[in-house]
Structure 1
Amino acid sequence: MNRALLSLFFYANLAIVLAIAAYRAYLYAAAPDASALLVRQIDKIEAVAAEGGPLRFAVVGEGNNSIGMLEREVIPRINASDVDFVVSAGNIVSGGGEDKYRSILQILSHLDIPYLLTFGENEFEEFGSTRFYQRFGPHFYSIALPQARLVFLDATGHTPTDWQERWLRDILQSEETRPVIVFVGHPLVAPEHETLFEPDRGAWSEPDDRDRLLGLFRRLGVDMVISAGAATYSDQVVDGIRHIVTGGAGGFVVNDETSFYHYLDLSADRDGIQADLVRIDTAPTPLAQRVEGLWFFVYSLFYVGWLNFLAIFSAFVLTAMYLYNRLFRERRYYPDYDLRVPVDPGRPLRIAMFTNTYLPSINGVAVSVNRLKTGLERQGHEVLLCAPSYDDQRPEAGVFRIPILISLGAAFRLANPFHRQTWRTVREFQPDVVHLHHPYWLGSLGLRMARKLKVPSVFTYHTRLEQLAHAIPLPGALFRNVIAHWLVRRFANRCDEIIVPTPIIRDYIHLIGVDRPVHVHPTGIEVERFRRRNPTQLAELAARFNPDGRRILVTIARLSKEKNLDFLIAAMKELKARQAPPFRLLIIGDGDERARLTSTIRDAGLTSEVRLVGSVPMQDIPAYLALAQLFVFTSVSETQGMVILEAMAAGLPVVAVNATGVDAFVQNRRTGMLTEEDLDAWTDAVHALLVNRSERQKMARAALEEAQTHSIERFAADIARVYLIAIGAWERAGKEH
């Protein structure tokens, strides 16, 4: 089967399962307010019975939410008769789920007369006992009418039998002159004929329990027992008590001489009870009747339980496809050793890029994308960058801005992936390759375009998604341990080439199951820009942030939880407590944690030592770094940490928590200090460099030397070579096919 079609089938079934789950949740949350409906029904029945004369009512059993029989055949006939009300002998629903109870309320609304319900096995299952109680009333109850007493028992075992038997002795007297009819959800006496399915069993099914209840009935003068629980009709007298099993209002009726559609027509007064069978035949021949019974059963099953069927079917499909994918799809567990040779198209490349974030938003991905675009254009390549629009954006050649669907400040702007002009612009651009910078949203749009245009796709893994679990409206552990890695793996394996900034991220990509070729290329920096000094600007910054001549520490980070800034502030508090040389930390960046961090700094007594500078224009970053003696960094969520390279290019030694995106550039005790995420150890490292000027200067020289090997020009050339490799592999694959 075509892989795209198979994927569509998979996600269609996944959507069905999720939609049904959401609908179920909605049903539980939006349950109707209907309560104690039987109270109103009893009031109506008592009003009719008070008029005197024989009381006539219909009895149905095994309704099972049947649309074909109960709603369309039985109820219209009962409405057309002269009965005063109708009684369900049990199992009027096919299950106790919320959807089943909503359906039976709809069916009962077609009745022109009052109704009474017996609590049966179907009413009880799927947590239905609470729904029955809330909507209709108690599980066992009694009605004393002038013509007869009607008693309804709970045979499910939900209510203790000894309590109900005690209650029976209280309400029934042996000298009762009115006929007594008991409704119970399962047969107390086996039906006369063998049934296709075994009759329901319940609280009084064991011989000792049944005999005790029947003995109590005899002593209390019960005249008739009517039950459901079997798709048959049975009428027999045992020890002077008439036992009727009625199960013909729906469900799986065979439509033969012992199992057929029917209801009971009863008439009761003080002289006794008369019960007549009303048989319902809607098909002309026995064969047609059997087909009809099967059709009514299947039809009702789908009409009422189609969501269950669809959910089960879709779940089976998902399971089968998952097992097939795990067991039978070929996997590549070893590197691809095919010779991957870049091609020379003899002209500059046209590269279409897709990113979910870009300037003027200042973050690592936006800066990295901007530098790559700049470097490629300097080499003569043509770039079309598709990015979200921003309120304060500046016109930039080669950038196509996509309108926004949702905006939550500068940090989160959800672009419209259905914008038709985007497709038209990219198609007219005729890219040689599509470069994707996120594994979702506009990244997914770019991947679809690459396939549509039949060009290779390249994906750069910039961000450790699992570290963003706090910002995702899902259980943190579920997103962090499962969804984030699945999302990256699935997206990356659909691309042709993968780019990562550090070797450890390459290892991670392989570990989660990505089998596409992976290239390690850290984002370049403009080394010379960080070596330039503007004395006037430096003097202004010093007057503003360091008028008292302290040692300046600086960090650049978005003010969000994954940047681990609470650890950094706690270290500054410890540093102050140790009476380190006077210092001031400048935190450059902005984010949704600003207000909380401001309070944290104030509560720690660090308002003089720690300053939240806010967002700073990119062109001013070198000046802030030139003001400092030390760059500090505590984030453990980086894939590269470009700000570390920038600090090194400015001639600053680095003290950082040893984590991904940091260890590739900071060489411990050469270009800076790396420690575990331990407050004392990290504070020791900062304190040591603050007091040791010669060691600080030696590391600064080594940091500058290391940073000079990561220029934008080299970075762009390396990425352009990945494009050429992807194009070459794409062309060879096309020729092979």
Structure 2
Amino acid sequence: MTRSNPLKLLFYLCLLIVILLVGYKLYLNFFKQDFEAIHTEQVERIHERTPPGSAIRFAVVGNINNSVGVFEKRIIPKLNDSSLDFLVSAGNAVSGGGEDKYRALQGTLSNLKMPYLLTFGPHEYEDFGSFRFYDHFGPHFFSIRTGNARLIFLDSTGKTPWQWQIRWLKDLLSQDTTNARVLFIGHPPMKPENPMPFTTDDSFLQPKAFRTALMELIETRDIDLVFSANLAIYDEETVGDTGFITTGGAGGLVLNTENSFYHYVEVGISPDGEVTHQLVPMEIGQHPILERLEGLWFFVYSLFYSGFLNFILILFAFLAATIKLYQIIFIGKDYYPDYDLDPTPWLEKPLRVVMFTNNYLPFIGGVPISIERLRRGLEQRGDATLVVAPRYKNQPEREKSVVRVPSLLTMGKNREFRMANIFLSQIRKRVRVFKPDIIHVHHPFWLGSLGLFMARRLKVPAVYTYHTRLEHYAHFVPLPGMLFRNLISHTLIKYFGNRCDGVIVPTYSTEEYLRMIGVTTPVFVQPTGIEYDRFQAVSDAEVATLREELGLTDEKVFVSVARLSNEKNIDFMIEAIHRLRQQTKVPFRFLMIGDGHQRDRLQKKIEELGLESCFQLVGAIKPDEMAVWYNLGHAFLFASKSETQGMVILEAMSAGLPVVAVRSSGIEDVVRDGYNGFKTPENQGQWVARAQELLENDGLRKQFSDKARAFAADYSVEQFAKDVHGIYATTLAAYEKRAQTTYAERLGRSN
């Protein structure tokens, strides 16, 4: 029995919706007529129905609020069956002033078999709706004569100055010869005896001066009826000979109480000016589910009228879903690596490799050192390399295989972070002349993006090494930290990684992270190499000399290497060392090697805790001198959680230093707990206890030291370069295979 695939059905449903959307949009734009100045046509129709001297009957509604279920489906059919001459909205015919709401209202009113007029109320004014009302219907305040009566429409929103309206109304009424006068205004000029909950002064006619002047004019100029909306009630008050009616039951939400219910009002005016009115309640009890469906339908309906922006958004949303489902259902995927590759042709010959990086020596950091070691290792193997990197002030004068790019912008205390000018044509010319076999990018943006662009232009594969956990660098980015940390950084890495032909990561935990965020490109786990032999070549005399320079006597030495920046968690170690000094009697010195923008603040904290004698900020040390500093130590302490590998940990191990580190993705695969060091949660108590154990237990420290040195021996620069060359060869083989497959497919289609 063949079972239907629900994803396949969903795909065809999305495809059908896209076709319907396109078709309906074409209908709306090319077959459905636009509308303007509708009141002009409606007034002519009213005059035809109610010539001078005739009796008139009309309906008044308020708060239609674009209602479909109540107004369009229930009230309009009843009005069409009556003998009324026309309809008047006392305000809030739309639920907002957007173009979509006006379009939807026009569609609803097209079902009426009688002419109509609208009062410019507060909802008509919202969302810049005043100009739409003027374009589609007419002026915000006006007057017409029908039979022997005058209908007056005022603007209560403040769009038209009230003083002008009062002056206009005085002149109008002083010359008026009709027998009856009915005034419509969106905001009620009087508060009802039983107002709706949550009403405020703004629910009524403002300002007070307008309300006072209007009430005086109503009293002195014989206005018979005043209709208002804006409240979902029916209320009737009488002041002198004038009736004030608030009607707000033609749609929207009502409370279904004695004064809040669905209704409209019928008004009759005789030729001699006798005015009567009758409340017409509607027995409507809309089910809550139907109300929800009506709201949902109106949302969808309104999208078609809100311009091309919303249409494009919804269209492309469905297109994206359709394409995604198509890929899931119909495009076969092999989640296993392609083992049917032959990298031999590229393994057996020297390769030409261009590397793009946003930072490089003489800037001291894990990424520049890793790139430099790879470059030297590849060149020792016979490969040709070219590094594209920013220009620095104290860089070597002559560099054979480096293209230095001037900066557009420099950042950092010492201007160490540089935004290179990627727009220089000389960069592209140098890379083209070099004729690379493969391009290796080390950052997912800026110069890294240029590298990927050049790979596509030169039709060579691009490999990306994921060095840095960007989410831990949110404090450097002028964006909300949580936004960058939780969304932008992961999205950037996923997008960039999937555009490359291969991704190199230093640890298996890092590979797992890339898979979790959606990177589908082939991932190669390749730890960064270290100069293991150099750490073994340090003599006792060199170490003794350095101890003497630092004024060390019999103290044990803890070493840590990191940039003095927030993401390296230096504060954690300062506070922990403060606790350790209070808990142990063994003298020790903590040497913090590295520099950064937080140095002054960290030094102040050290002084505040009285740690000057045991916690020293050494500053930056030249890479060639680091081996001696590592060999000076007895253990290596680390608390950073932003590492992808923790290359400094491997360097420390190569010098025989056991490690105490906070658990993180870059630490997990390097430090083996209880074997070559300790891993702890980010808990000062546990971290301090492990550091104290290594400080006080010489036998355990010696045992861990031997195992750490043996562990690090497998990470030589030579092996690192050989393995990366193998990754290049595998990537080139896959790239060549894809190119041949694509060519064969095109050739088949052309035949």
Normalising TM by the smaller chain, what interval?
0.5 to 0.7
Query: In structure 2, do the counterparts of structure 1 residues 684 and 175 end up closer, same or farther at CA, with 3 Å as the change threshold?
Result: closer
The structure 2 residue matched to 1:423, chosen from 414, 428, 443, is 428
Q: How does 1:487-498 map to 2 (within 5 A)?
A: 487-498=492-503
Q: Report deviation, 1:482.
A: 3.2
d(CA) in 2 for partners of 1:670, 1:66: 69
d(CA) in 2 for partners of 1:172, 1:692: 95
Is the Cα contact below 8 Å between 1:552 and 1:584 reproduced in 2? yes
d(CA) in 2 for partners of 1:646, 1:163: 73
Is the Cα contact below 8 Å between 2:228 and 2:246 reproduced in 1? no
Query: In structure 2, do the counterparts of structure 1 residues 174 and 595 end up closer, same or farther at CA, with 3 Å as the change threshold?
Result: closer
Amino acid at match of 2:636: F
Amino acid at match of 2:498: N
Q: Report deviation, 1:350.
A: 0.7
1:90 paired with 2:92, answer no
Counterpart residue number, 1:172: 215
d(CA) in 1 for partners of 2:709, 2:489: 35
Counterpart residue number, 1:256: none
Counterpart residue number, 2:410: 407
Counterpart residue number, 2:231: 203
Give deviations 1:507-540, integer Å, cap 9, x for gaps. Answer: 2222222222221110101112222336676455
Is the Cα contact below 8 Å between 1:589 and 1:613 reproduced in 2? yes
Q: Secondary structure at the match of 1:362?
A: coil
Query: In structure 2, do the counterparts of structure 1 residues 540 and 731 end up closer, same or farther at CA, with 3 Å as the change threshold?
Result: same
d(CA) in 1 for partners of 2:162, 2:577: 66
Is the Cα contact below 8 Å between 1:139 and 1:153 reproduced in 2? no
Query: In structure 2, do the counterparts of structure 1 residues 539 and 143 end up closer, same or farther at CA, with 3 Å as the change threshold?
Result: farther
Give deviations 1:567-591, integer Å, cap 9, x for gaps. Answer: 2112101101113311111111122
Q: Report deviation, 1:721.
A: 0.9
d(CA) in 2 for partners of 1:355, 1:612: 28
Query: In structure 2, do the counterparts of structure 1 residues 520 and 425 end up closer, same or farther at CA, with 3 Å as the change threshold?
Result: same
Counterpart residue number, 2:238: 216
1:324 paired with 2:323, answer yes
1:348 paired with 2:350, answer yes
1:363 paired with 2:400, answer no
d(CA) in 2 for partners of 1:629, 1:411: 31
d(CA) in 1 for partners of 2:200, 2:122: 22
Report which stretch shifted further, 660-669 or 540-549: 540-549
Is the Cα contact below 8 Å between 1:154 and 1:184 reproduced in 2? no
* Count of aligned residue pairs for this structure pair: 558
Counterpart residue number, 1:375: 377
d(CA) in 2 for partners of 1:220, 1:369: 93
Amino acid at match of 1:659: S
d(CA) in 1 for partners of 2:132, 2:203: 32
Q: Report deviation, 1:467.
A: 2.4
Amino acid at match of 1:203: L
Is the Cα contact below 8 Å between 1:225 and 1:241 reproduced in 2? no
Q: Report deviation, 1:474.
A: 3.5
d(CA) in 2 for partners of 1:493, 1:406: 29
Give deviations 1:531-570, integer Å, cap 9, x for gaps. Answer: 2336676455324433444211110011222212222112
Q: How does 1:524-673 map to 2 (within 5 A)?
A: 524-533=529-538, 538-539=543-544, 541-673=546-678
Counterpart residue number, 2:723: 718
Amino acid at match of 1:617: K
Counterpart residue number, 2:399: 396
d(CA) in 1 for partners of 2:707, 2:246: 97
Is the Cα contact below 8 Å between 2:378 and 2:722 reproduced in 1? yes
Report which stretch shifted further, 469-478 or 486-495: 469-478
Identity of aligned residues (%): 35
d(CA) in 1 for partners of 2:335, 2:455: 26
Is the Cα contact below 8 Å between 1:153 and 1:183 reproduced in 2? no
Q: Report deviation, 1:360.
A: 1.7
Query: In structure 2, do the counterparts of structure 1 residues 637 and 165 end up closer, same or farther at CA, with 3 Å as the change threshold?
Result: closer
Is the Cα contact below 8 Å between 1:118 and 1:184 reproduced in 2? no
Query: In structure 2, do the counterparts of structure 1 residues 145 and 137 end up closer, same or farther at CA, with 3 Å as the change threshold?
Result: closer
Q: Report deviation, 1:237.
A: 3.6
Q: How does 1:153-164 map to 2 (within 5 A)?
A: 153-154=186-187, 164=204
Q: Secondary structure at the match of 2:679?
A: strand
Is the Cα contact below 8 Å between 1:223 and 1:242 reproduced in 2? no
Is the Cα contact below 8 Å between 1:143 and 1:151 reproduced in 2? no
Query: In structure 2, do the counterparts of structure 1 residues 652 and 163 end up closer, same or farther at CA, with 3 Å as the change threshold?
Result: closer
d(CA) in 2 for partners of 1:558, 1:383: 28
Q: Secondary structure at the match of 2:404?
A: strand
d(CA) in 1 for partners of 2:430, 2:592: 40
Query: In structure 2, do the counterparts of structure 1 residues 549 and 342 end up closer, same or farther at CA, with 3 Å as the change threshold?
Result: same
Is the Cα contact below 8 Å between 1:403 and 1:419 reproduced in 2? no
Amino acid at match of 1:554: V
The structure 2 residue matched to 1:461, chosen from 466, 481, 484, is 466
Query: In structure 2, do the counterparts of structure 1 residues 660 and 182 end up closer, same or farther at CA, with 3 Å as the change threshold?
Result: same
Report which stretch shifted further, 602-611 or 522-531: 602-611
Counterpart residue number, 1:118: 155
Query: In structure 2, do the counterparts of structure 1 residues 530 and 100 end up closer, same or farther at CA, with 3 Å as the change threshold?
Result: farther
d(CA) in 2 for partners of 1:165, 1:136: 13
d(CA) in 2 for partners of 1:138, 1:381: 84
Query: In structure 2, do the counterparts of structure 1 residues 728 and 534 end up closer, same or farther at CA, with 3 Å as the change threshold?
Result: same
Structure 2: runs of 5+ lacking an equivalent: 1-89, 100-117, 141-152, 175-182, 189-194, 252-265, 278-301, 743-751
d(CA) in 1 for partners of 2:218, 2:453: 83
Query: In structure 2, do the counterparts of structure 1 residues 104 and 442 end up closer, same or farther at CA, with 3 Å as the change threshold?
Result: farther
Q: Report deviation, 1:736.
A: 2.1
d(CA) in 1 for partners of 2:225, 2:431: 77
Q: Report deviation, 1:713.
A: 0.8
Is the Cα contact below 8 Å between 2:267 and 2:275 reproduced in 1? no
> TM-score under structure 1 normalisation?
0.66
d(CA) in 2 for partners of 1:411, 1:151: 70
d(CA) in 2 for partners of 1:593, 1:582: 27
Q: How does 1:334-345 map to 2 (within 5 A)?
A: 334-345=335-346
Give deviations 1:406-448, integer Å, cap 9, x for gaps. Answer: 2113443222332222222212211101111122222222112
Give deviations 1:590-629, integer Å, cap 9, x for gaps. Answer: 2232233223222222122211122221112112212211
Is the Cα contact below 8 Å between 2:227 and 2:245 reproduced in 1? no
Q: Secondary structure at the match of 1:353?
A: strand
Is the Cα contact below 8 Å between 1:141 and 1:151 reproduced in 2? no
Give deviations 1:81-122, integer Å, cap 9, x for gaps. Answer: xxxxxxx9515996623x657999999xx99xxxx9724xxx
Give deviations 1:217-269, integer Å, cap 9, x for gaps. Answer: 7x444799999x99xxx9974774699xxxxxxxxxxxxxxxxxxxxxxxxxx
Q: How does 1:118-267 map to 2 (within 5 A)?
A: 118-119=155-156, 147=171, 152-154=185-187, 164=204, 172=215, 176-178=219-221, 180=223, 202-203=230-231, 209=234, 212-213=235-236, 216=238, 219-221=240-242, 237=269, 240=274
Q: Report deviation, 1:462.
A: 1.1
> TM-score under structure 2 normalisation?
0.65
Counterpart residue number, 2:84: none
Give deviations 1:454-493, integer Å, cap 9, x for gaps. Answer: 1111111111222223333344344333332222222222
Is the Cα contact below 8 Å between 1:140 and 1:152 reproduced in 2? no
Q: Report deviation, 1:715.
A: 0.3
Structure 1: runs of 5+ lacking an equivalent: 1-59, 68-87, 120-131, 187-201, 244-300
1:698 paired with 2:703, answer yes
Amino acid at match of 1:334: Y
Q: Report deviation, 1:451.
A: 1.4
Amino acid at match of 2:361: L
Q: Report deviation, 1:701.
A: 1.9
Counterpart residue number, 1:84: none
d(CA) in 2 for partners of 1:635, 1:355: 23
d(CA) in 2 for partners of 1:591, 1:680: 27
Query: In structure 2, do the counterparts of structure 1 residues 657 and 177 end up closer, same or farther at CA, with 3 Å as the change threshold?
Result: closer
Amino acid at match of 1:154: H
